[in-house]
Amino acid sequence: MINPLKQRLAAGERLFGCWLSLASPIAAEALACAGFDFLVVDGEHSPADTMDTIALLQAIAAGGSQPVVRVAENAAWLAKRALDAGSPTLLFPMVASADDARRAVASIRYPQQGRDGIRGVAGVVRAARFGLLPDYVHEANAAACAIVQIESAAGVAAADEIAAVDGVDALFVGPADLAASLGHLGDSGNAEVQRAIDRVLAAAQRRRRAAGIFAGSAAEATAYVARGFSLVALAADVVWLLAGARQALAAVRG
């Protein structure tokens, strides 16, 4: 069992994705066809529930992209549902300590090979092709990928310890919440916020983990890549929808 996204992260490839905020399978499939390396199914701030997630995963696969599911919180039962639905890569929000990171990693692993996995076992889930992959439970741990989101002052302070946790594949910065945590709500470009972002990037690089971040524009994404980020989410489906619509309206209205 292979997780292409996990392999590409480990190889240090530069990967670009997009957030799925509309919970629309049609929009997800279209963006997958556009060529994004990964698409994030947002279980935290979009209306997507478990059934929506499955439809979105099907759409992403049809378009040839790779899925990342952001669970609503760092909870084992939410991770279990997302994994069973068919996404081997999960994004855990608000990770602020090494213990948080270890809890996230444990939730994506079955208890085997001496590792502290707590994922519940069910053999007839979509991820196992409804029981047609008999070796799934023995191979799933190797394919499971944990991306932990650092978006608080506490997370920045613990970034090195978080990056050192076995099983963490990438650190991912959430600039908006990080700015709020540092007292700069709505101003992720603030110098203090940018210094904190660099601290997370440095921690990831020291521990040889991939470093990811959300970028609100192509210019911002290009700047983050130049700084060393290799996993960049380029805004969201609703952002591009509104940007294109507003641009067209402005053009026709003069």
Q: What is the CATH number of the domain that holds 86?
A: 3.20.20.60
User: Is the predicted pLDDT of residue 248 greater than 80, yes or no?
Assistant: yes
User: Is the predicted pLDDT of residue 127 greater than 90, yes or no?
Assistant: yes
CA neighbours closer than 13 Å in the CB half-sphere of residue 167: 25
Query: How far apart, in Å, are the Cα atoms of 175 and each of 85, 150, 157, 158?
Result: 28, 9, 15, 16
From the list 235, 227, 232, the residue with the least C-alpha distance to 37 is 232
Average pLDDT of the chain, as a whole number: 97
User: What's the domain count of the chain?
Assistant: 1
- Give the mean pLDDT of 75-98: 98
From the list 206, 252, 253, 202, the residue with the least C-alpha distance to 228 is 202
pLDDT for 116: 80
User: Is the predicted pLDDT of residue 113 greater than 80, yes or no?
Assistant: no
pLDDT, tens digit, for every residue of 41-50? 999 999 999 9
User: Is the predicted pLDDT of residue 210 greater than 70, yes or no?
Assistant: yes
pTM: predicted TM-score of the whole model, two decimal places:
0.96
pLDDT for 216: 95
Q: Is 45 a catalytic residue?
A: yes
pLDDT-based confidence at 115, cuts 50/70/90? Answer: low
For the chain, how far is it from start to end, CA to CA, in angstroms?
54
User: Is the predicted pLDDT of residue 245 greater than 70, yes or no?
Assistant: yes
Residue 44, class by beta-carbon neighbours within 10 Å (0-12 exposed, 13-18 middle, 19+ buried)?
A: middle
**Considering 45, 195, 227, 246, which one is annotated as catalytic?**
45
Sequence letter at residue 154: A
User: Is the predicted pLDDT of residue 122 greater than 70, yes or no?
Assistant: yes
Helix (H, G, I), strand (E, B) or coil at 81: helix
pLDDT, tens digit, for every residue of 4-36? 999 999 999 999 999 999 999 999 999 999 999
pLDDT for 114: 63
pLDDT for 148: 98
Domain that holds residue 112: 4-253
pLDDT-based confidence at 123, cuts 50/70/90? Answer: confident
d(CA 223, CA 201): 13
pLDDT for 254: 87
pLDDT, tens digit, for every residue of 143-183? 999 999 999 999 999 999 999 999 999 999 999 999 999 99
pLDDT for 219: 96
113-137: burial string, b at 16+ Cβ within 10 Å, e else: eeeebebeeeeebebbeeeebeebb
From the list 39, 37, 41, 29, the residue with the least C-alpha distance to 7 is 37
